[in-house]
Amino acid sequence: MEIIQLKGVSKEYGRNKIIEDVSLTIEEGDIFGIIGQSGSGKTTLLKLISGFIEPTEGEVVYFSKIDNKPKDLHKHFHKIKRHLGFTPQHYSFYPKLTVKENILHFGLLYGIDQKTLIENARSLLEFTGLYEHRGKLAENLSGGMQKRLDITCSLTHKPKILILDEPTADLDPVLQEDILRLIREVNKQGVTIVIASHHLESLERLCTKLAIIHRGKLESYGHLEEIRKPFLRDHITITIRTGNDKEKIIGLLQKLPVSKIIDQDHQLVIYPIDAPKTLAALLQVVKQENLYLHDIDLHKPTLTEIFQKITGKK
């Protein structure tokens, strides 16, 4: 079931068009990744999805489970905002408050009654691994714990959608993985995640759907395999480690549907015209000729390679 839908959304500031004619659907339970170069419009897109800014053209609609009727997010923001949580790239907590005080403060902003808020705070602290740090000033936490606190503050009102802008920025690889685990756990609780990030390898492993924004336009959108599809013909490769039969295998490969063979001394990289047919024919020939392969690997283009191709980035 869809939960957020953008219909022909554009956003202009003066004569500068930041987002142009973007249409996409975010479904309940998605971990939806938004990627783009700096200045591509992805943060503006996040602000549109979160209701912080109004589109110049088009509409952002929210689907309620109660009546299943689409509601314009901006027009009904005062009612819908309780279903949204937003964690900006830069910390939004108060450094001179303790961890628990920060959570209680943000909960009060959403009008949660004190008894419910105290219960929510305890369960959240335990869930996010901050319980033993609850009495510490936020400014004294490590970078990873501060990011956990920021996300926790966005969850105090139990939102249906959590929107994250660069949640792993400025964290080392270990802390990045720690935050990604937390995001997965939040998603398992039934929270739909919308995340913008420069860390493409992380998004490739984390997200169920992705949108690639380039110069304000939606260049590609959907499941990773759907995004890969246009690039498979020219960017899929087969790598084989040949051992002593290399020359014979090269001769056989030249008779198969391949566009290019690169000899890297210890291995061959093959660019197939039709990957499934080439791979099947290769395995059949190897078996018939009683040849030996040390290893064989089929490489599909990664999200980073696709992104570089779309943006023209080398």
- pLDDT (tens, 9 = 90+) of the chain, 314 residues, equals 899 999 999 999 988 999 999 999 999 999 999 999 988 899 999 999 999 999 999 999 999 876 668 899 988 888 898 899 999 988 899 999 999 999 999 999 888 888 889 888 999 999 999 999 999 999 999 989 999 999 999 999 999 999 999 999 888 899 999 999 999 999 999 999 999 998 999 999 999 999 999 999 999 999 998 998 888 766 778 888 877 778 888 888 888 888 888 888 878 888 888 777 888 888 888 788 887 777 787 778 889 988 988 888 54
In which element (H, E) is residue 99 found? helix 99-109
pLDDT of residue 314: 41
Taking the C-alpha atoms of residue 61 and residue 39, their distance in angstroms, rounded to an integer, is: 25
pLDDT of residue 106: 92
Taking the C-alpha atoms of residue 98 and residue 280, their distance in angstroms, rounded to an integer, is: 62
Taking the C-alpha atoms of residue 114 and residue 108, their distance in angstroms, rounded to an integer, is: 8
Q: How many CB atoms within 10 Å of residue 171?
A: 19
Ordered structural domains, the chain, with CATH = 2-222 (3.40.50.300), 230-311 (3.30.70.980)
